[in-house]
Chain A
């Protein structure tokens, strides 16, 4: 049976909410019906299947973003046309795929790993028995839904990040079969990070990972998600030799031209009172990929959440982050670090909502731009009328390493309370010649001195991570990615 294809026309050709009967969206809908039917007996809860159906209808009804939409200001809308992508195969029960090697990050000690490939899970390590015994759940989305549907129902889409990508996040909900659910009951602290690997293989393939993290009161955990592309799938994937499989799984082995792929990813982070959650996303999609990531953070009383997203890959990547401070004492660090090169477009939209008094948030987004890269940062801090004593900070800093690169920055504040401290700022600058001279005056060669200054620029973000082993592994990965350019 041929794979169904996922296609939509450009926005101009599709009146909102009224796809033509023979439109690519209709064809996509028909193919989804078959996909949907396959899932009926898979033990997924009814509420989830209904949510998927509704999400599908919402996807079909919502128009693609237009130039009139302020939330897409500066974005390259032509890149959002979805024609030509292949809908992923139904989740075949092929776990574990012993001959599939996930792309990996530099090693660090971890409590458990889940590795997804396309729309299926291919590897996983068990949680330590002690954590399972205490009620920790770390499982792929379909399994978690089948086994703990009632628990998860209260959290799914409770606090969506809707900063312009609603159409795409609806598609994610409709089609998500990968992603992890992490549930940590009250009082349980997990010292080592949990790792989720996502890889998408081959040209014109699509993926829809959805991750849900729920930390109970006083719980503590760190989740690392790594998103990567692997080399072109051969038509008969089963016929590949182990050598080919191994090569396919090696970072940086992909040959030109870059793989055209389409990903919408969603992560939802919930931190109950006094929970401490660290989330790290490492985005390293193919340089031909269109990726839309949506991330929401909900922090309750005295909860502390740190989210750090690293961006290296993709042709056009949009990352939306909505952080909600819901009860007094809640704190959120929202950080990002990007190395944009070639003709990459990184489009980052953030919202910090202070809905309760005595809450704090600190956003730091840093971009290093090379080649003809384009970055967009648009951030807003909203302070609700009764959120007195809010302490909110927002900073976007762009290091421009090429005269042809462009950084657009739109910081914003919307304050309805009168006793708050809110600051925001955006700066773009080049390597400081005095700093460079200082390093060189000690005998350090120019190229190395430049690199030290760039890594120093990154370190200001990385130093927010309190786990030294994880910090060092990620810093090493950043350096290796930078040197690949």
Chain B
């Protein structure tokens, strides 16, 4: 079974520590949620696992299927099976969504083998229909002029096309209306299964009504201060983040 193991991870940007010793193991088939107030290091954690060059891992490691990915380039990590659904996906003028996704799919095919273009488009259109994305989007520049909801749906489209083993969803629910949230959640749920693990980062419990997690972790000031089942999300919703700051954080340190 595949696994993604975060071991005592410390992350800094410049000299400033952001994540201060975080451990978590994600196995294939599991959906974990990380909740916590803004500025607590949730997004940083996701970006670092996906290899963002601006951050420095000062201690600890990330192990994918028993192998450290700490020295792997972002594109190598992606090809190894990690996918980050961005909170703020980049807009890329002049590069069409179809060409971009095609290059990403092609990058996963052994060298020398050609992508079957007909099968690729058939699959792409089926996923787009599923996510209610207009097929005209294939010729549009990546995320350029997309609404917030369109951007998030296109992130899920990419995930569905690339079929990663582990996805990191960074505030995927932010900026979504309820219909878009349902479509996005439906897309993620359609991928759930033994070969799919997800780490869902969210500020609100709302998304977890649609994607029911197996585990919930509460993060504060660069650490996990509480872990448990989905009931923690409800408790957090009821008690608010003051509870984290005043009771959980002091108890964990």
Q: Compute how far the CA of A434 lies from the CA of B162 in the bound complex, rounded to whole angstroms.
A: 20
Interface residues of B in 144-158 (CB under 8 A from A): 158
B105 to chain A minimum Cβ distance, whole angstroms, is 9
Q: How far is the CA of A457 from the CA of B162 in the complex (A)?
A: 25
Q: How far is the CA of A439 from the CA of B83 in the complex (A)?
A: 12
A456 touches B93 (CB 8 A): yes
B90 pairs with A432, CB closer than 8 A: yes
Report the minimum CB–CB distance from A474 to chain B (whole Å).
14
Q: Is the beta-carbon distance between A456 and B78 smaller than 8 angstroms?
A: no
Docked-complex contact B104 and A434, CB < 8 angstroms:
no
Q: Please tell me which stretch of B13-21, B46-54, B197-205, B232-240 contacts chain A, meaning at least 4 of its Cβ atoms lie within 8 angstroms of it.
A: B46-54
Q: How far is the CA of A452 from the CA of B51 in the complex (A)?
A: 20
Query: Does B75 belong to the interface (CB within 8 Å)?
Result: yes
The residue on A at minimum CB distance from B82 is A441
Q: Are B94 and A455 in contact (CB under 8 A)?
A: yes
User: Which residues of A from 349 to 405 have beta carbons under 8 Å from B?
Assistant: none
CA distance A415 to B45 in the complex (A): 53
With a CB–CB cut-off of 8 A, which chain B residues contact A455? Answer: 94-95
Pairwise interchain contact A443-B78, C-beta atoms closer than 8 A: yes
Cβ of B84 within 8 Å of any chain A Cβ, yes or no, is yes
Contact of B100 with A by CB under 8 A: yes
* Chain A contact surface mostly: helix
Contact A459/B52 with A443-B75, A446-B73 known, Cβ cut-off 8 Å: no
Assembled-state Cα–Cα distance A434/B90 (Å): 7
A423 at the interface (CB under 8 A from B): no
CA distance A475 to B116 in the complex (A): 23
Q: Pick the residue among A443, A448, A458, A459 that contacts B162 (CB under 8 A).
A: A443
Q: Please give the distance in Å from A333's CB to the nearest CB on chain B.
A: 17
Chain B residues numbered 83-121 whose CB sits less than 8 Å from any CB in chain A:
83-84, 86, 89-90, 92-95, 99-101, 103-104, 107-108
Contact of B93 among A434, A442, A449, A460 (CB under 8 A): A460
Collect the chain A residues with CB atoms within 8 Å of residue B53's CB. 433, 437
Closest B residue to A442 by CB, please name it: B104
Q: Which range contains the number of A residues in contact with the other chain? A: 20 to 34
Known contacts A444-B107, A460-B94, A463-B94; A439/B100 CB under 8 A: yes
Interface positions of B from 137 to 195, Cβ below 8 Å from A? 141-142, 158, 162
The residue of chain A having its C-beta at the shortest distance from the C-beta of B158 within the complex is: A442
What separation, in Å, do the CA atoms of A443 and B50 have in the docked complex? 11
Q: Does A163 sit at the interface, judged by CB under 8 A?
A: no
Is A456 touching B95 in the complex (CB atoms < 8 A)? Answer: yes
CA distance in complex: A433, B55 (Å) = 13
Contact residues, A396-433 vs B (CB, 8 A): 432-433
Rounded to whole Å, the gap between the CB of A335 and the closest CB of chain B is 14
B160 CB to nearest chain A CB (Å)? 13
Q: Does A440 contact B (CB under 8 A)?
A: yes
- Nearest first, the 4 closest Cβ-Cβ pairs linking A and B are A456-B94, A459-B94, A443-B78, A438-B90
Q: A438-B142, A441-B50 are in contact. List 20 more A-B contacts (CB 8 A).
A: A435-B90, A437-B74, A438-B86, A439-B95, A439-B103, A440-B75, A440-B78, A441-B83, A442-B83, A442-B158, A442-B162, A445-B75, A448-B103, A453-B95, A456-B93, A456-B94, A456-B95, A457-B93, A459-B94, A463-B94
A/B interface sample: 8 pairs, CB < 8 A: A441-B86, A442-B100, A443-B108, A444-B103, A444-B107, A448-B103, A452-B100, A456-B92
